[in-house]
Amino acid sequence: MRLARFFYPDWKSYNQRRICMPSPWLHRYALLLAVCTLFLVVAGASVTSHQAGLSVPDWPLSYGQVMPPMVGGVLWEHGHRMVATFVGMLTVGLAIWLAVAEPRRWMRRLGFVALAAVIVQGVLGGLTVLLLLPPAVSVSHACLAQLFFSTAVAIAIFTSRGWRAGPQVVEDYGKPSLRSLSVVTAALILAQIALGAGFRHGALGILPHVIGAMIVSLAILILAAFVLHQFPQHSTLRRAAKMLLAVTLAQVFLGIETYFARLGAAEKPMPMLIFTIAHVATGALTLASSVVLAIQIWRNVAAPKQEEHVEETAAVIS
């Protein structure tokens, strides 16, 4: 708020204008950040797939230089750092833009949360190099990247014209509630991403990831089926559910192809590299799609009347 007052001394009149006329460019900027973040996930997966994580032994510089010779593994590792720097700069710009132009306090805070996340992500990336790729730090680095991507996607949704138009509220009449099921599903997907990162960084075997894939696929299928069965005419929920199903189907296919490509990687390494990188990127899309569906459920689906009655009773008793 103080930052906005600094740029706009006539704060009251500007505040009224920004509420009435939300800038479409803020939404486009958030979309740009989300796309660049997905490319950053691809760049990070490329570093691990090419086993180039220690191609540059120092941090934050690369061999003591801002721009070292881009040869061998340095191309992948330093290229990843360059993309990460660009995403960090975009995030700084987004946080400032939200602080100046966004009337919703929680959105301004979300911008600074995203900024804090990208700073922590950069530190974790440096620690993976300085500590020689410890599995715990590497897995945390991978998971936070996925969470940051989902955050960028969420900000893009919150700044869109469709979000400004308001919700189309419907009532949940099934059990378990869609709200709780959506949160559990997103959490399971994040756990599955952690298992996959653990396998890629040598901390776990493949079996936990395979079992996790079965559990997560079932949870996604149940959530999407509940949404499509209860609200087939709700365009926003239907679109989000179908998107999650489509991305999950692609992710399962890529997971199977990655496994078999890994078996023949000694003779043909290129298919394994391509399928692995695509599998990691689609994993990010799967988590983001689940977050989008969860957001739309919590926005558009009201709690069942029975739950509301229990909450009212609890409030009276307390």
Query: What is the per-residue pLDDT across 115-164, written as a single tens digit (0 to 9) for each?
Result: 999 999 999 999 999 999 999 999 999 999 999 999 999 999 999 999 99
Q: Where are the domains of the chain?
A: 1-166, 167-318
Which pLDDT score, from 0 to 100, does residue 144 have? 98
Positions in the chain whose pLDDT score sits under 70: 1-22, 305-318
The predicted-structure confidence for 172-186, as pLDDT tens digits, reads as follows 987 889 999 999 999
- The two tokens of residue 41 are 């996930």
CA distance 202 to 190: 18
CA distance 186 to 130: 32
- The two tokens of residue 242 are 């179908």
CA distance 103 to 7: 15
